[in-house]
Amino acid sequence: MKRRLHIKMTTTRIIILGFFIGIVLGGFLLWLPVSSKAGQDISFVDALFVATTSLCVTGLTPVVMAEQWNYFGQAVILLLMQFGGLGVITFTTTVLLMLGKRITLKERMLIQDSYNLDSISGVVKLTKRIIKGTLLVEAGGAVLYSFVFIPEYGVLDGIWKSIFHAVSAFCNAGLDLVGSSGFLVYQTNVIINVATMLLIILGGLGFPVWWDVLDAVKRAKKKEILWRDVFVKLNVHSKLVLVMSAFLIFGGALLILLFEYHNPATIGNLSAGNKVMAALFESVTLRTAGFQTIPQEGLTEASTLLTLIWMFIGGSPSGTAGGVKTVTMIILILSMLAAVRGTDEVRAFRRKISDNYVRRAVAVIVVFFVALIAVTMALSITEDGSFIDILFESTSAMATVGLTRGFTGSLTTTGKWIIIFAMYIGRLGPITMALAFNAKKYEGKKTYAEGKVIIG
């Protein structure tokens, strides 16, 4: 008697399978001659690489986007970026809503799980708010971009490039249609810099923070609370995200400015104002966006180390960015401070952080770090290059950043498969992958005798 294999399709497994199917389908479409410009052939592994970097909103690419893809190929990439930025569940729900389909209880529960909500009440409304907010912000970014791209490329091509780059920036994808130099040619362009930074930041904050801030602002407008109390009325998650994001953006910009101020290979030859703008852009983009106005291979060793740390941290939960996430890192820091002070509780803004969150933060960082080491070691075996270039490429792929020191184009076929895997794991998260293959839950509660160990 044959035993039937039954796999329970949890939300986590649906997300993993959805991304996998999207990558394979996208890679196949980009591999077809209809996607490339005349005379621009592409191997399947390169097409799959671009599909992965698009869907996982990374930005690393072995080909020059503007030279390889025609409008059809670019449209496929744009859809993959939007799909990857919103996530499988939200994107699928959006399509169902556009088709006028009814959102079933099961689908509502999937949305609830994907956004870690307490109940299914209002999940469809939340999805609609996310879509409207996304389209509104991307449209605003496209308008800003159009002031530069339309005069440069003409009306139709300029509008298309404006839309493409707005989606790419908001989704923290970092893919561009400018050419081999990327956004380096816009290093001193205020409109491009400001528009890109705003889109990256808004996409990286996470949708829950949006609504929390907007609700607090609405209450202030209605005079239900004072304007000075807007931040105070935010929930703990939003406060942690905003504080950590501000620290990383402005702290990173200050350090980069100090490290690179006299470096002719990066910003040394710019005016004081442009140096500040370039440093700020670098600080914003290296937290998973992938656009660059500074050659990464020209950075000083101090800036390179800072870049690796900032890429590792990444953006914020429930947003379009990657990395271990800002909240994860700040909880780990608060846990460390609590241990140093000898307090039993981890606290933030006069609220206790649950031990479950602390354990999860530790698990995310440790598993991510171990996966990063594994990818770096694998690339060190298959690729010829300096250790810093390999580590930079591995971190960029795992944290779905997309910045490179010019190493992506020299990857071997095996190296490309390793980076594809790293981008896939990095977008989903190592913990998500672990949960997908371990759906069992312990029943009951066992208590063991306490064991003594020595720490430090």
420 by Cβ neighbours in 10 Å (0-12 / 13-18 / 19+) ranks as buried
Cα-based torsion angle of the residue sequence 329, 420, 396, 372 in order, rounded to the nearest 10 degrees: 50
AA letter at 433: M
Token pair in block for residue 146: 């159009």
Using CA atoms, how far apart are residues 308 and 219, in angstroms rounded to an integer?
40
Per-position b or e across 225-238, b if 16+ CB within 10 A of its CB: beeeeeeebbeebb
The 10 Å Cβ neighbour count of residue 10 is 14
CA distances from 74 to 311, 355, 397 (A): 27, 46, 21
CA distances from 437 to 12, 16, 95, 305 (A): 9, 11, 28, 34
Instruction: Count the helices and strands in the chain (H runs, E runs).
Output: 18, 2
User: Which of 46, 75, 42 shows the shortest CA–CA distance to 60?
Assistant: 46
Residue 37 · residue 69 · CB < 8 Å: yes
259 by Cβ neighbours in 10 Å (0-12 / 13-18 / 19+) ranks as buried
Using CA atoms, how far apart are residues 237 and 317, in angstroms rounded to an integer?
9
Dihedral pair phi/psi, residue 5, rounded to 5°: -85, 120
- Residue 243, C-beta contacts closer than 8 angstroms, at least 6 positions apart: 330
Token pair in block for residue 453: 């160990």
The DSSP secondary structure of 44-64, one letter per residue, reads HHHHHHHHHHHHTT----SS-
Residue 277, beta-bridge partner list: none
Q: What pLDDT shows up at residue 131?
A: 84
- The secondary element (H helix, E strand) that includes residue 348 is strand 346-348
Q: What is the SS3 string spanning 146-209?
A: HHHHHHHHCHHHHHHHHHHHHHHHHCCCCCCCCCCCHHHHHCCCHHHHHHHHHHHHHHHHCHHH
Q: Model-level pTM greater than 0.75?
A: yes
- Residue 330, C-beta contacts closer than 8 angstroms, at least 6 positions apart: 240, 243, 244, 348
Each residue's pLDDT, cut to its tens digit, for the chain (456 residues) gives: 444 445 555 666 777 787 888 899 999 999 999 999 988 889 999 999 999 999 998 889 999 999 999 999 999 999 999 988 877 566 666 666 666 666 666 656 656 555 555 555 566 677 778 888 889 999 999 999 999 999 999 999 999 999 999 999 999 998 999 988 889 999 999 999 999 999 999 988 888 888 889 999 999 998 888 888 899 999 999 999 999 999 999 999 999 999 999 999 999 999 999 999 999 999 999 887 889 999 999 999 999 999 999 999 988 887 777 888 899 999 999 999 998 888 888 888 888 988 888 888 888 899 899 999 999 999 999 999 899 999 999 999 999 898 999 899 899 999 999 999 999 988 887 556 555 545 455 455 566 766 666 666
Q: What pLDDT shows up at residue 142?
A: 97
- Maximum CA pair distance of the chain? 78
